Amino acid sequence: MHKVAFVVEYDGTNFHGFQYQPSLRTVQGVLEQVISQVENTRVRIEYASRTDAGVHAYYQVISFFSHRRIEPKKWLQIMRGLLPGDIRVWKVAYVPDEFHPQRTPHEKEYIYRLSRCPLSVFERGYAWWVRGLDVDKLRREIEYIQGAHDFIYFSKTGAPRQNTIRTLHVSLTESGKYVILSFRSSGFLYGMVRLIVGTLVEVATGQLPQGASGKVLNGNIDLRGKSAPAGGLFLKEIRYNKTDIKWQEECESDEDDNT
């Protein structure tokens, strides 16, 4: 058998999250169904990140053992033909058997898109329109969560974690009406990014005092904001440490595609 890795992007709007749930449409469920169809046997995938319902991904990594030796370019063509329009496999590689998308050392980056202006009907579900957003307050509040902290109070109840300390790198960029928050870390707690964004926004709109994020880190959950809407959150990239993966990208496989 051969271990195959895919880079997958998806629009999370019509999914009940990434992780498989019986009788519900999930990204994992759809991927496993299609890959099992190709393999002609039941296939279970490994994945890098368990995104919630409504959360999107530019760069989710999955892997699985294949009974067939299919060229990466051919995998791209097969998956393009079988997957629904809201999931796309755009990179494929053969990887060592010990590779695991979540356990192999890596850094993840999530971005959250805020808008200072009303959203068009084509943008809803992909950003959060926030009235009265004070970007200067937002920048100042970010400094309270930079670096290594115990983020237990910025997590939802879910799968227990023995270690809740994370080193977080946060940056802010402005692009027209959008304010884009980037979060980088080797790992995130369940619901962590959306709870942080919700708190930052409530500070930046005057609903919470400046410095509330630091006090939440110290255990004052009364100053924690509501979880930000799922639609503004995107899994942007996963960067593996010291792992030389030779990806075949979809754009490289289109030369024979006459459509």
Determine the pLDDT at residue 251.
Answer: 76
Which ranges in 114-188 belong to alpha helices (H)? 135-142
CB neighbour class for 69 (10 Å; exposed up to 12, middle 13-18, buried from 19): exposed
Average pLDDT over residues 130-145: 98
Q: What is the mean pLDDT of the chain?
A: 94
Determine the pLDDT at residue 162.
Answer: 77
Average pLDDT over residues 9-21: 97
Distances in Å between the alpha carbon of 131 and those of 11, 73, 172, 227, 235?
25, 46, 18, 17, 25
**Pairing status of strand 46-47 against strand 147-150:** unpaired
Distance CA 215, CA 202 (A): 14
First-to-last C-alpha distance (Å) of the chain: 33
Q: Return the H-helix or E-strand segment holding 95.
A: none
Q: Which two tokens stand for residue 128?
A: 């959060």
Q: What percent of the chain has pLDDT over 90?
A: 89
DSSP per-residue codes, 4-64: EEEEEEE-GGGSS-SS--TTS--HHHHHHHHHHHHHTS----EES--PPTT-EEEEEEEEE
If pLDDT is split at 50, 70 and 90, which confidence band does 158 have? Answer: low
Q: Which fold has domain 107-237?
A: Alpha-Beta Plaits (3.30.70)
Closest alpha carbon to 144 in 207, 52, 191, 208: 208
pLDDT higher at 160 or 182: 182
Closest alpha carbon to 29 in 43, 48, 41: 43
pLDDT higher at 75 or 256: 75
Distance CA 16, CA 112 (A): 19
Determine the pLDDT at residue 253.
Answer: 44
Domain range list for the chain: 2-103+243-256, 107-237
If pLDDT is split at 50, 70 and 90, which confidence band does 31 have? Answer: very high
Task: Return left, alpha or beta for 219; rule: phi > 0 is left, psi -120 to 50 is alpha, else beta.
Answer: left
Q: Return the H-helix or E-strand segment holding 108.
A: strand 106-115
35-61 residue pLDDT tens: 999 999 999 999 999 999 999 999 999
Q: Which fold has domain 2-103+243-256?
A: Alpha-Beta Plaits (3.30.70)
Q: Enumerate the active-site residues.
A: 52
Q: Residue 104: helix, strand or coil by DSSP?
A: coil
Average pLDDT over residues 230-238: 97
61-118 residue pLDDT tens: 999 999 999 999 999 999 999 999 999 999 999 999 999 999 988 999 999 999 999 9
Determine the pLDDT at residue 241.
Answer: 84
Neighbour tally for 52: CB within 10 Å: 19
pTM to 2 decimal places: 0.93
Interhelix angle 27-39/72-82, rounded to 10 degrees, is 120
Q: Which two tokens stand for residue 126?
A: 């992909």
Residue 26 · residue 15 · CB < 8 Å = yes
Distance CA 52, CA 60 (A): 13
